[in-house]
Homo-oligomer: A and B are copies of this chain.
Amino acid sequence: MNIIEQTYKLKEAAPRLAASSEEVRNKALLTVKERLLEHRDEIFAANRADLDRAESEGISQAVVKRLKFDEGKLKAVVEGLDMLVKLPDPIGKVLLSRELDEGLLLKRVSCPIGVIGIIFEARPDALVQISSLCIKSGNCAILKGGKETRETNRILFKLIYDSVLESGLPEDCLAQAELHSEIDELLTCYKNVDLLIPRGSNAFVRHIMENTKIPVMGHSDGVCHIYLDKDGDIKKAIPIIIDAKTQYTAACNATESLLIDRSRADEFLPLLCEAFKENNIKLRGNKEVMDKISGYSSVDEMKEEEYNTEYLELTISLKLVDGVKEAVSHINRFGSHHTDSIITENSETAEYFMNMVDSAGVYHNCSTRFSDGFRYGFGAEVGISTGKLHARGPVGLEGLMTYKYKLYGRGQIVKDYSDGRKEFHFRDL
């Protein structure tokens, strides 16, 4: 069966999955958990095969760490399933209940989006996390994981799919794509797929966004900033900057650019350079920065237009600005609307920054690395959105829901209201 046919079947299954009871969906999640635990040895063996192949192909240790599915990852995944089961049912929440007139009742009720296509990196735990979020939220899904973990993905998907069927959820509510070529096929399925969530490199996400009519939720660049204000506390600033740059350099919420208030640059820069040196952080800056920190060994001059660079490694851009206003305008111009933080002891300046910076996350005195579904207490996330429509920032269960308007009448017609024989009275219940 090709992808187009598969998405057609998902579309057909979508209203049936949406109408399934919370009990059955939770039972499916618990069955997934049981099956994963029962078949751990087979899963680990499949993962061993993936790792062996990766190592023989000379893949870097950082990537191998991501591919690995071991006891620790299994434990995390199982905890995630337990937590999802405990969350309230996101389907059927009454978001608005309004009597338009006597006997004419309007309800806005939450319901699943329908069919979601998710293309994600080579992380087997992501496959379990994403498919379980879709089961809980009643969304049909087609999943395409990274090819480096195809053996692990295959057995995990089989165990999940069998659990779903065994629990009584509709056949064809989940599908797996395995070939890279199938991604392009998936991009054409705008009649059957309601939403695409791509995760991966900037270039990859941008390719998806530019080559489909299906709405896309996600982000390409993650150019996060920290602005060290004139009222900033350098003792707070240094650990925050080091954390935001070094704690996980490959993450989208790692900081790529540091702005410093010019009036305190001479005082802050020597202390910062010391911390950068200790942490092997390379600096890049414009002419002014170069002149100020000529003593620092690892520094490169950069052009103004390069301030939008996402390094994803131990390099950071540096710039001096005249106060919070210039910082905001730089961030709105060069940033990627992901997450930006201000270090200041002045809460008025902080509030100005947080209101004026046009990003999904605006932080005061903490690391940009907090921008994550787990750390926000969402339990899990399908991704992070830098778009402003629908969901913004880390996207959990809520971002997988839409709503519909149900209107209950007794034979009402519009003509009576437009002719003035009847009038709406709009009473929220």
Contacts and interface: CB of A to CB of B under 8 A. Distances in A.
A98 B417 CA distance: 45
A146 interface: no
Contact of A407 (B328, B361, B418): B361
A360 interface: yes
Interface stretch (A14-22, A35-43, A57-65, A176-184): A14-22
Interface residues on A, range: 35 or more
Contacts of A113: 388-389
A48 interface: no
Given A14-B358, A389-B402, A404-B392, A364 B409 contact: yes
A332 interface: yes
A386 to B, nearest CB: 11
Contacts of A213: 209-210
**Consensus secondary structure, chain A interface:** mixed
Contact of A403 (B15, B392, B402, B410): B392
Contact of A247 (B366, B387, B413): B413
A408 B365 contact: yes
A390 interface: yes
Contacts of A215: 215, 387, 389
B405 A375 contact: no
Interface string A145-183: 000000000000000000000000000000000000000
Contacts of A217: 389
Contacts of A264: none
> Closest 10 CB pairs between A and B?
A366-B409, A243-B413, A236-B411, A377-B426, A369-B414, A389-B390, A388-B402, A390-B390, A15-B356, A363-B407
28 contacts: A15-B328, A15-B332, A15-B355, A15-B357, A104-B366, A106-B377, A111-B355, A114-B358, A194-B389, A209-B213, A235-B411, A236-B410, A239-B411, A244-B414, A247-B414, A248-B414, A350-B408, A354-B406, A363-B408, A364-B408, A365-B411, A366-B408, A367-B412, A371-B405, A371-B407, A377-B426, A389-B402, A392-B404
Interface of A: 14-16, 18-19, 98, 100, 104, 106, 111, 113-114, 194-195, 209-210, 213, 215, 217, 233, 235-236, 239-240, 242-244, 247-248, 328, 332, 350, 354-367, 369-371, 375-377, 387-390, 392-393, 402-415, 417-418, 424, 426
Given A243-B413, A361-B404, A375-B414, 14 more contacts: A100-B375, A106-B376, A111-B355, A194-B388, A236-B410, A240-B413, A359-B404, A361-B405, A365-B412, A367-B413, A369-B414, A370-B409, A370-B412, A393-B404
